[in-house]
Amino acid sequence: MGILLLVPILAPLAAAALAAVLGWRRLSAWVTILAALSVLITAAVLGFGIESGVRFGVGDLLRVDSLGVTMLLVIGTVGTLATWASIGYIDAELAHRHTDQRGAHLYGVLLPVFLAAMALAVLANNIGVMWAAIEATTVATAFLVGHRRTRGALEASWKYVVICSVGIALAFLGTVLLYFASLHAGASSGQALDLDVLLSRAARLDPDVTRLAAGLLLLGYGAKVGLVPFHTWVADAQSQAPAPVSALMSGVLEAVAFCTLLRVKSVVDLSLGTGFLRTGLLTVGLLTLLVAASMLVVQKDFKRMLAYSSMENMGLIAIAASAGTRLAIAAILLHVLAHGIGKSLVFLAAGQLQAAHDSTAIRDVTGVLTRSRLIGASFAVGLAVLVGLPPFAMFASELSISRALAGAHLAWALGAALPLMVIAFAALVRHGTRMLLGPPDASSPAIAVPRSIAAALLTAVILSVALGMTAGPLTDLFHTAATQLGASH
């Protein structure tokens, strides 16, 4: 059983190795898709094969619980969509000479490495390894962000690497401090950073040191989630990265980082009580929402708009996490999954728009719905998902988050967040309408949709609708994850 835990990490790595050998070929691309799919299948097997409970693999280096399974589902789902769409994307980039064979080669190698790093981050038992995996995602995506090697891409990747690395470095410092506290709580040096050990000894951690560690971890992983104050890379990186990579960064990477934050929170809450991180999460969550909503209002670039929408959602789940109840955690997980799929939709559609117009300015794009039914509808559905309209799942998750907040006596936070969300909604609807509706300009270029991207988009639309109707067995999974994270009722 333990060996199964290695699949989500090794399968993408194998695909990367193959891509390294073969270069950008159909075969390696399909193997990459299969690798992503294998992550999804592993998640399904892990989730439904056996009764709930935490399992370990490779000694106690890897660990899977319901939260891990959920995150693997997200990685697998969005990863499959993104790798699938990558075929069409890279072909088009090659055709338009935005990249060369070397660039494509690099892309083919780094994308599965990125997936593997994320899988490791959610499966690691040791929070140090978790940290290393998260930092590895930065390294892996640095060149993906700068893939086009234009000035903008270069600038974005520099900022991305520098800002994220500083943030993550602070998280490392926090990890070190937690290790220190854990050692002094009597843990043996080899296991002091293991989650299960930390959880079992949480009550004996030195509160002063733990508080410092928790603050640094929140700040550090917050950088990767896209929370204030290290949020400044998000828009640059996600707007410059290739569409499938943007989808992964926005839909999965941020969520994975948030999942580590949740794990840390479960330890810290046991040690310090819920008050400390609650204050912290609320502060950064609300500030993030404020920044995201404001930037959405003044936005002129549709890819940056999508990036700020990610920030908005991350801010929201940070606020939700501060409630910390079972309902809140379950809602966060649903939110993350729905957001991942929705973001894939909009980013992949946006990628085609960018390819057609060679611009990402909102004002350059009009009448998409009449020009390309598929791209227009995908973008519209994606936006509807993101702004939380029923019948899509983010409506249910936002509703549940609201209930959880009110239930945790945080109605005031909800009251502060809702106007900001309405502002964000207003901005997204305004920009979306501007792009999608209306008569097409006579001079508008045709929007090409490669088959693989069309397939990915259709799949994502179907998934979005289905998830909006019912989460089926996932509901139990989410609730178990919440219980395992020590959430109260």
Partner 1 sequence: MTTALHNSPTVPALGEGARAAPPAGALAWLSGGLTAALGAVGVALGLSVIFGEPRQLRIGWLLPLVGVRLDLDPLGGLFLVATGAVSIAVGIYAVGYAQRERWARFPLAILPLFVAGMLLVPAAGSITTFLVSWELMAAVSLFLVLSEHRREAVRSAGVFYAIMTQLGFASILLALVVLSAAAGGDAFSTISAHVHDLSSGTKTTVFLLTLMGFGSKAGLLPLHAWLPRAHTEAPSPVSALMSAAMVNMGIYGIIRIDLQLLGPGPNWWGLTLMIIGALSAVFGVLQASVATDLKRLLAYSTTENMGLITLSLGAAILLRSSGAPTVAAIALTAALLHLLSHAAFKTLAFLAAGSVLAATGLRDLDKLGGLARRMPVTTVMFGIAALGASGLPLGAGFVSEWLMLQSLIHSPADGNTTLALAMPLSVGAVALTTGLGIAAMVKAFGVGFLARPRSAAAEAAQEAPASMLTGMTLAAAACAVFAVAPALLGPTLRQVLAVLPTVGGHAAGPQLGTFLRLPGVGGSLSPGLLAAALIIAVLLTLGLSRWGARHRPAAAMAPLWASGADTLSSRMQYTATSFAEPLQRVFDNVLRPDIDVEVTHFAESQYLVEKVTFRSRLADPVEQRLYTPVIRAVNAVAEWVRGAHTGSVHLYLAYGATGLLIVLLVTR
Partner 2 sequence: MTEATYTGALDLAAGAFLLTAVLIVWRRELSAIVRLLAWQGAALAVLPIIEGIYQREPAPIVVGVVVLLLRAVVLPILLARAVGTEDQERRESTPLVNTTASLLITAGLTVLAYAVTQPIIALDRSPTTRALPAVFAVILIAVFVMVSRRRALSQAVGFLMLDNSITATAFLITAGVPLIVELGASLDVLFAVFVLGLLTSHMRVAFGGTDLDQLRELRD
Cα dist from 129 to 111, 123, 153, 164, whole Å: 20, 10, 29, 17
Residues 6+ apart with CB under 8 A from 20: 105, 108, 109
Per DSSP, the residues of 157-192 read HHHHHHHHHHHHHHHHHHHHHHHHHHHHTT--TTTT
- For 219, the enclosing helix (H) or strand (E) is helix 207-225
As measured in angstroms, the least distance from the Cβ of 439 to partner 1 is 5
For residue 154, state whether it binds partner 1 (rule: CB under 8 A). Answer: no
The site partner of 429 among partner 1, partner 2, none (C-beta below 5 to 8 Å per kind) is: partner 1
As measured in angstroms, the least distance from the Cβ of 7 to partner 1 is 27
Among 414, 449, 457, 485, binds partner 1 (CB under 8 A): 414
As measured in angstroms, the least distance from the Cβ of 423 to partner 1 is 6
The site partner of 20 among partner 1, partner 2, none (C-beta below 5 to 8 Å per kind) is: none
For residue 218, state whether it binds partner 1 (rule: CB under 8 A). Answer: yes
Q: Using CB under 8 A, which residues numbered 272 to 301 contact partner 1?
A: 290-291, 293-295, 297-298
Separation CA 35–CA 14 (nearest Å): 8
As measured in angstroms, the least distance from the Cβ of 371 to partner 1 is 11
For residue 305, state whether it binds partner 1 (rule: CB under 8 A). Answer: no
Separation CA 254–CA 256 (nearest Å): 5
Nearest to 280 by CA among 227, 345, 232, 340: 227
CB nearer to partner 2: give 84 or 233: 233
Residues in contact with partner 1, shown as a per-residue x/- string from 332 to 361 under the rule CB under 8 A: --x---------------------------
List the end-to-end C-alpha distance of the chain, in Å, as a whole number: 32
Among 148, 430, 444, 476, binds partner 1 (CB under 8 A): 430
Residue 360 in tokens: 């990402």
The site partner of 142 among partner 2, partner 1, none (C-beta below 5 to 8 Å per kind) is: partner 2
Query: 482-486: which pairs have CB atoms within 8 A and are 24 or more residues apart?
Result: 482/325, 482/326, 482/327, 482/328, 482/329, 482/330, 482/333, 483/326, 484/52, 484/54, 484/65, 484/66, 484/67, 485/67, 485/262, 485/263, 485/265, 485/266, 485/329, 486/199, 486/266, 486/269, 486/270
| Strands 55-57 vs 62-64: parallel, antiparallel or unpaired | antiparallel
For residue 233, state whether it binds partner 1 (rule: CB under 8 A). Answer: yes
CB nearer to partner 1: give 16 or 349: 349
For residue 478, state whether it binds partner 1 (rule: CB under 8 A). Answer: yes
Separation CA 244–CA 21 (nearest Å): 22
For residue 467, state whether it binds partner 1 (rule: CB under 8 A). Answer: yes
Separation CA 298–CA 309 (nearest Å): 13
Question: Contact residues for partner 2 (CB under 8 A)?
Answer: 61, 126, 128-129, 131-133, 135-136, 138-139, 142-143, 146, 149-152, 154-159, 161-162, 165-166, 169, 172-173, 175-177, 179-181, 183-184, 189-190, 192-193, 206, 208-209, 211-212, 235-236, 239-240, 295, 298-301, 304
The site partner of 268 among partner 1, partner 2, none (C-beta below 5 to 8 Å per kind) is: none
SS3 assignment, position 63: strand
Among 20, 154, 389, 465, binds partner 1 (CB under 8 A): 389
CB nearer to partner 1: give 370 or 444: 370
Separation CA 299–CA 308 (nearest Å): 9
As measured in angstroms, the least distance from the Cβ of 153 to partner 2 is 9
Stretch that binds partner 1, among 133-141, 196-204, 339-347, 471-479 (CB under 8 A): 471-479
SS3 assignment, position 261: helix
The site partner of 390 among partner 1, partner 2, none (C-beta below 5 to 8 Å per kind) is: partner 1
Residue 422 in tokens: 């309405």
Residues in contact with partner 1, shown as a per-residue x/- string from 198 to 217 under the rule CB under 8 A: ----------x--xx-xxx-
As measured in angstroms, the least distance from the Cβ of 308 to partner 2 is 9
